[in-house]
Structure 1
Amino acid sequence: MNKAIVIGAGFAGLSAATKLAEAGYEVTILEKNSMPGGRARVFEEKGFTFDMGPSWYWMPDVFERYFAEFGKKVTDYYELVRLNPSYKVIFSPTEAIDLPANLEELKVLFESIEKGSSKKLEDFLEESKYKYEVGIGEFVWKPSLSITEFFDYRLVSKALSLDLFASFGKYIRKFFSNRRLLQLMEFPILFLGATPRNTPALYSLMNYAEIALGTWYPMGGMHEIVKAMVLLAEEKGVNIRLNEAVKHIVVQDSIANKVITDIDEYEADIVIGGADYHHIESRLLKQEHRNYSESYWENRTMAPSSLLFYVGVNRKVDKLIHHNLFFDEDFDVHADEIYTHPQWPSKPLFYVSAPSKTDESVAPQGAENLFILIPIAPDLADEEEVREKYYQMVMERLEKYVGHGIRKHVIYKKSFAVSDFKNDYHSFRGNAYGLANTLMQTAFLKPALKNKKVKNLYYTGQLTVPGPGVPPSLISGLVVANQVLKEFGNVKKQVTIA
């Protein structure tokens, strides 16, 4: 039992493959696209280097723990810089706040906005630190195959203190009342794919990650993480096959024994699906071998999709920093148009990353690299004229804030939206962030990482435990690999014993 096939070379697939290879498995990753990284691919045009997906480097301890699994350090592969300010929030063309990386400076900022809030911030961070240490230190490393995994007194008692059953929206209002502060504190929840009132208060751990652990950037771009993981995987013996789409998983007697691609066939002792979970179930498996019905998937609450623009500008853009959040319209209206009444947003909030403010290598000299993201409901029709309408809408607001023209200086522009997520990643309903992190889609209530009908078929990535995001995906790969080793053994140990 030593041949493992991993479908998909995203963070989770690379993570699982590397762990199994170190344990002695002969591991092959099958990737449909022309480069590894999944949503964290990269492309170059006209001297610009554009990260295609993730742009926030949070939870640096998770990356350190990942590479430490293999006796390595982050610094063996790429240079990290801590961003200061961490990010900017724009409330109007004339009102913006830069969030300092230094905690004492941040407390001064909070106090200037709401009297007494600096002490409240201390209290909030103390509780959030506990949530982070338990949530990220213990809970997310469980395979969540059964509720019984959480049935020991220590974890149950902790679960109660983690406010699992309280909403983040209500929880944060115990500490702050000022509208601006609430917007600042609720911002990280946007990345979890649900409104604050539908997100468990446990996820205040994201605030701790952002404030206490910092917002970082790997010089060269986020794809440097992928390069590092690929280098490590290949060092461990992983064979990565690009431009090879999986078409079918052959199952006989409840065992997945072969994976068929559009090019070749691969015998398998273990199969791990790191591609879109719904795609694997609905397209690669026969119905009798699937974990979930189509109605199950249709009833899932999805995180948003995104309309993305990659923009190259032949001048520097004033007033922007690395991360910029435009909260200059009503958040509740935009959220309603994503979650409750799905439609193209009337006045969307949006995000602009300008990595060239930190890293001169991602743009020609004197130019600016802009990554623009508008959260939208999944499964929307995204014809070119719709994309262009929103490009003009956000660029007008961006120009109004910075105080000068940008569009006339654009020398490169590319969009990416719902249909591209479907085509490039087989993304269910064109989502960008997987399942929303609601209480009913947390831990063992997420799609299971193990197939219930096929003994050697597993799943990893953002649609299973622990959830969406780069750090959770790294964890997901290690968790599923450890589950395989628990059930099928370590090949190196088996050889040693023999």
Structure 2
Amino acid sequence: MKPLRRVVVVGGGVAGLATAALLAADGHDVELVEKNDDLGGRAGSWERDGFRFDTGPSWWLMPEVFDHFFRLLGTSTAEQLDLVRLDPGYRVFFEGVPGAMDVADDAERNQALFESVEPGAGAGLEAYLESARTAYDLAVDRFLYTSFDHPRAFLDRRVLARGPRLASLLGRDLESFVAARFADRRLRQVLGYPAVFLGSSPDRTPAIYHLMSWLDLADGVRYPAGGFTRLVDVLARLARERGARLRTGVTATAVLTHASSPRGADRRRARVTGVRVVDADGTESDLPADVVVGAADLHHVETRLLPEQLRTFPQRWWDKAVSGPGAVLVCLGVRGELPELAHHSLFFTEDWRSNFDAVFEAPTRVPDPASLYVCRPSATDDTVAPEGHENLFVLVPVPPDPGIGHGGEDGAGDAQVEAVADRAIDLVASWAGVPDLAERVVVRRTIGPADFVDGVNAWSGGALGPAHVMRQSAFFRAGNSSRKVRGLYYAGASTVPGIGLPMCLISAELIRKRLAGDTSVGPSAEPPRPAPRSQAGASESSAASAEPVVDAS
């Protein structure tokens, strides 16, 4: 058994909290430091006048990843959270097309939906989802739960048998892959939109990621009662219960190292010795560590906390990298009901290629009109808004450019940010048929790309992280172990396996695997669950589990 280590985790977002929980559960001495006063990172929240807004992730996909993670900690998703399956999964409004399209929570009804739009598209979707499911299962089994430090990820007979098919999917973009199968613009957009979850666009994302459509069109979309901040609360509690120390208002200023003599094939120049931090009152101290996990933005960790000679990903690496989009976020408390909107609603412009080019191609510009996303959690959860009111969260993709500015409350943000918000509100009002939407707003807050820099040290003001273009996907994505400093690792959206809450949980498990010397390519073996008790005891247990551990009130 490997000796237990002193671990310092930098960053209290989902990846940092998950890493702290897993490593503490394994018996390591874990201390986590977070510069902000609240935990959660990009999975943030904001409250005012009885409204509570999630300001980050809002789609619960890949439920089996959460299930596996919680089982590693000896519990379950059902014991920790109350998940609601959404139906419709989401609603889509299309520019120039009256009405909206409701995407159901199961494949059979979505096949009927596609068939009603385009003859033959129902059977086409069935085949498409079968391919997506195959690709998804292969990804989970062979490519997500690995750091790609052993060739066995590629030597599995299923991978070798599908080699030509995988090469074709990696060498082709998602947009053309979809267009070859469906003619109707609306269907193409529904199938192409998952690229945005990956911080990219359909024409820039490899076709292998058509696997994402299995998640929303067949596996369904869920919502944790009380909002996504409940996940943050759960992760923090589980980490503390297992012995991790979580400290907020503590800023990491340097990863401390000591020069080392390379041993054997290990050519790294230094070994980690700790982290220098500054408390809220300005007191500086050093936290000794055998292992440091940079779960903050990778660009920040590499270019701000390490000297230049010890950077695996120096600034010149980032100069060639591709950021995911920035975002203007708009939190709206609205008087009265909004049945015109589902829990999730998407608004797609007709020429959305120009939207993506505006965000990703130099010179960048804020798209107008912009395709956008609206979350109405009050459709599902009566705890997020006062009675008789609605909670709306609007996300407008913009270039990853801090120069667009900061947001603010009640129109007090920078001019460009507020202008984006005004146009978004007008678009939603017009397309969804809510002409008095702006007049009904009683709470408003905007968040701009500069706020992502201030809040989470986001590289280039990006809202998600490095985009999943081909050269930043799978084994091409930034690795999770420093090549210059022994004992320094990385977790979160910037590194493998990538963007999204499930990926952040997996990135934490990859750190656990590294410390355990586990080079397997699939999910880790789960501890056995306690044996069922007697019939009477089992009945009591079922009754107790009917109430979620996390209070959703």
TM, length-normalised to structure 1: 0.95
Percent identity between matched residues is 33
SS of the counterpart of 1:197? Answer: coil
Q: How does 1:284-363 map to 2 (within 5 A)?
A: 284-341=305-362, 342-363=364-385
Match of 1:77 in 2: 80
Match of 1:246 in 2: 252
Q: How does 1:60-139 map to 2 (within 5 A)?
A: 60-92=63-95, 94-139=98-143
Residues 380 and 27 of structure 1: CA distance in aligned 2, closer, same or farther (over 3 Å): closer
Question: Post-superposition shift, 1:313?
Answer: 1.1
Partner amino acid, structure 1, of 2:195: I
Query: Is the CA contact 2:106–2:219 (under 8 Å) kept in the aligned structure 1?
Result: no
1:65-93 deviation digits (Å, cap 9, x = unpaired): 11011121111111101100010110147
Q: Distance in 1 between matches of 2:361 and 2:149?
A: 30
Q: Distance in 2 between matches of 1:212 and 1:150?
A: 28
Partner amino acid, structure 1, of 2:62: M
Query: Is the CA contact 1:144–1:465 (under 8 Å) kept in the aligned structure 2?
Result: no
SS of the counterpart of 1:363? Answer: coil
Q: Distance in 2 between matches of 1:273 and 1:156?
A: 34
Partner amino acid, structure 1, of 2:174: F
| From 193, 201, 204, the counterpart of 2:199 | 193
Matched, 1:219 2:225: yes
SS of the counterpart of 1:345? Answer: coil
Query: Is the CA contact 2:325–2:398 (under 8 Å) kept in the aligned structure 1?
Result: yes
Q: Distance in 2 between matches of 1:378 and 1:147?
A: 35
Q: Structure 1: state its 5+ residue gaps.
A: 489-498
1:151-203 deviation digits (Å, cap 9, x = unpaired): 45543434443322222122222321211111111111121122212211111
Aligned length: 488
Question: Post-superposition shift, 1:113?
Answer: 0.7
| From 6, 9, 33, the counterpart of 1:6 | 9
SS of the counterpart of 2:485? Answer: coil
Match of 1:178 in 2: 184
Question: Post-superposition shift, 1:329?
Answer: 4.4
| From 144, 148, 160, the counterpart of 1:144 | 148
Residues 428 and 146 of structure 1: CA distance in aligned 2, closer, same or farther (over 3 Å): farther
Q: Structure 2: state its 5+ residue gaps.
A: 260-269, 280-284, 406-413, 520-553
Q: Distance in 2 between matches of 1:216 and 1:435?
A: 25
Q: Distance in 2 between matches of 1:16 and 1:158?
A: 33
| From 456, 464, 468, the counterpart of 2:495 | 464
Query: Is the CA contact 1:145–1:444 (under 8 Å) kept in the aligned structure 2?
Result: no
Matched, 1:17 2:20: yes
Query: Greater helix percent: which structure?
Result: 1
Q: Distance in 1 between matches of 2:308 and 2:326?
A: 27
Partner amino acid, structure 1, of 2:254: H
| From 270, 278, 284, the counterpart of 1:262 | 278
Q: Distance in 2 between matches of 1:379 and 1:145?
A: 34
Q: Distance in 2 between matches of 1:269 and 1:158?
A: 41
Query: Is the CA contact 2:44–2:229 (under 8 Å) kept in the aligned structure 1?
Result: yes
Match of 2:40 in 1: 37
SS of the counterpart of 2:499? Answer: coil
Query: Is the CA contact 2:90–2:344 (under 8 Å) kept in the aligned structure 1?
Result: yes
RMSD: 1.7
Residues 452 and 395 of structure 1: CA distance in aligned 2, closer, same or farther (over 3 Å): same
Question: Post-superposition shift, 1:380?
Answer: 4.5
SS of the counterpart of 1:136? Answer: helix
Question: Post-superposition shift, 1:390?
Answer: 1.3
Matched, 1:273 2:273: no
Q: Distance in 2 between matches of 1:95 and 1:147?
A: 51
Q: Distance in 2 between matches of 1:159 and 1:228?
A: 40
Question: Post-superposition shift, 1:444?
Answer: 2.2
TM, length-normalised to structure 2: 0.86
Matched, 1:365 2:387: yes
SS of the counterpart of 1:260? Answer: strand
